[in-house]
Structure 1
Amino acid sequence: MGNRLQKLCASIGLAALLGGFSGVASAAITPPADTAPSGNCVFDLGNLPRFSGKIERLLPGTQGDAVGALLTDGTEVEMPPGLAAQDHHLRAGVVLVVKGLAAPSLHLVRALALSGKSDLCAAPMPELVTSAPPANAEGRIVRLLHDGDGALNGAVLNTGTVLRVPASGARTNFLRLGVPIYAEGYGYQTAFGKLVVARRLGPDRLQAIHVSDEPLIPRGAPPGSTGYDQIEAPGGTE
């Protein structure tokens, strides 16, 4: 009797052990029940958290699309180009649901996908080759903006204009909440508002300094002059 009971207990223990391994293996390859399908996404975003909120305004990009959003709760959502275009219904007052990463100290979410019945990731967009006209903006900073890595790269002015600055501009002390600012560069008038990409920045026009990360193009000889059609070889010799 003792041997039979011992064998029975051993069998039950072995079955429980195998069942435990089976459950672990199954959990490792089965996504959670509430995870949306991947949609057009290359990577599996099933384990990323969802974030949602009502859109206060969309932020314009240089290709005429939206590259971010400000939510009514104060959150900034940064999007890669081509992501907002996956949902043509995005506009002020609509609830935005994304999957991505959060930087709570910056009130910033880096969106990697729009989340709904399926996850929608950014699709490639054709690059515009037309040059933007010169533009300037002046106003008071009411909101600071960031890129997907959390680095400061722009501001929203009290006029509604969105200002984007290169890294050298972000390293200045001009981008601070509540202060007046003047920017000069090139701009776009988009469906999501005016966008100015700064090449000069300062508290006003007279104190603006060069902040573009692009190298300055040296001024050449004027048209019609002797050296206009000549290109010097490196070292200054022909």
Structure 2
Amino acid sequence: MATALFALCIWHSGAALAAGPIKATQVVTSASPGQGASQCVFDLRGMQRYSGKVERLLPGTQGDAVGAILTDGTEIEMPPGLAAQDHHLRAGSSLTVRGLIAPALHLIRAFALSDKQDLCAAPMPELVTSAPPASAQGRIARLLHDGDGALNGALLDSGTVLRVPASGARTRYLQPGAPIYAEGYGYQTAYGKLVVARRLGPDRLQAIHVSDEPLIPRGAPPGSVGYDQIQGPGGTE
């Protein structure tokens, strides 16, 4: 009896995922234990597999791809270094991942590429580079999210990817179809233009500061040599 109930629960879970808002993204039957090697630290075979066709890849600040939009509109969020495990991944490619699905957001958080075997993200050295100032303007084609489902950007009708800090995500400006202007710093990558916003608004004149960094640099900590020194226009007082 317990076995039958467990099987029924599994069937209902799979049916609910397959019948959710994400229709063209296929739920793939998981491979049996021992089928295909894996270089992942954790055993991900308990996670569902999802498959679809890539419409475009989403650029990250290290020049890599950190996500994808599928042809059915599903957003795939990936950790840095995961997309690099498949050197043939590009627009038009088939993509199969293991992950968690948020049907209401049309979002899948991928933990591994999972075609013939599970491939997880390899550690990537963080490149500390100073990106040049950049701006973007257009209309919001769709919203983008992080791995926790929190709003963190938008895809513009021009194809530019816009990423915003938490303070920017809380503004009223990020709405599908709305006009948007952003300025901050940017990257030209193989996957398109990326702008990380510090100012955001419906146009340039109405843009507001949205960076989570403080506007005024922090002073010296109490007890330090420079704590009692005030930097004035003409120098230290």
Question: Contact between 1:66 and 1:85, CA under 8 Å: does it hold in 2?
Answer: yes
Which position in structure 1 is the counterpart of 2:226? Answer: 233
Which position in structure 2 is the counterpart of 1:106? Answer: 105
Whichever residue aligns with residue 234 of structure 1, its letter is Y
Whichever residue aligns with residue 117 of structure 1, its letter is K
Which position in structure 2 is the counterpart of 1:50? Answer: 49
Question: Contact between 1:83 and 1:113, CA under 8 Å: does it hold in 2?
Answer: yes
User: How many correspondences in the alignment?
Assistant: 199
Question: Contact between 1:102 and 1:109, CA under 8 Å: does it hold in 2?
Answer: yes
> What are the ranges of 5 or more consecutive residues in structure 2 without an aligned counterpart?
4-29, 231-236
- Alpha-carbon separation, structure 1, partners of 2:107 and 2:165: 19
Whichever residue aligns with residue 69 of structure 2, its letter is L
- Alpha-carbon separation, structure 1, partners of 2:32 and 2:128: 45
Q: Sequence identity of aligned pairs in percent?
A: 76
How many angstroms does 1:66 deviate by?
A: 0.1
Secondary structure of the residue that 1:63 maps to in structure 2? coil
Which position in structure 2 is the counterpart of 1:223? Answer: none
- Alpha-carbon separation, structure 2, partners of 1:167 and 1:183: 15
Max radius of gyration: which structure?
1
Question: Contact between 1:59 and 1:162, CA under 8 Å: does it hold in 2?
Answer: yes
- Alpha-carbon separation, structure 1, partners of 2:134 and 2:203: 15
Secondary structure of the residue that 1:105 maps to in structure 2? helix
Which position in structure 2 is the counterpart of 1:6? Answer: none
1:81-120 superposed matches below 5 A: 81-120=80-119
- Alpha-carbon separation, structure 2, partners of 1:134 and 1:190: 15
C-alpha change, 1:133 and 1:48, in structure 2 (3 Å) is same
- Alpha-carbon separation, structure 2, partners of 1:192 and 1:172: 27
TM-score of the superposed pair, with normalisation by structure 2: 0.79
TM-score of the superposed pair, with normalisation by structure 1: 0.79
- Alpha-carbon separation, structure 2, partners of 1:66 and 1:163: 14
- Alpha-carbon separation, structure 2, partners of 1:54 and 1:64: 22
1:43-192 superposed matches below 5 A: 43-192=42-191
Question: Contact between 1:65 and 1:81, CA under 8 Å: does it hold in 2?
Answer: yes
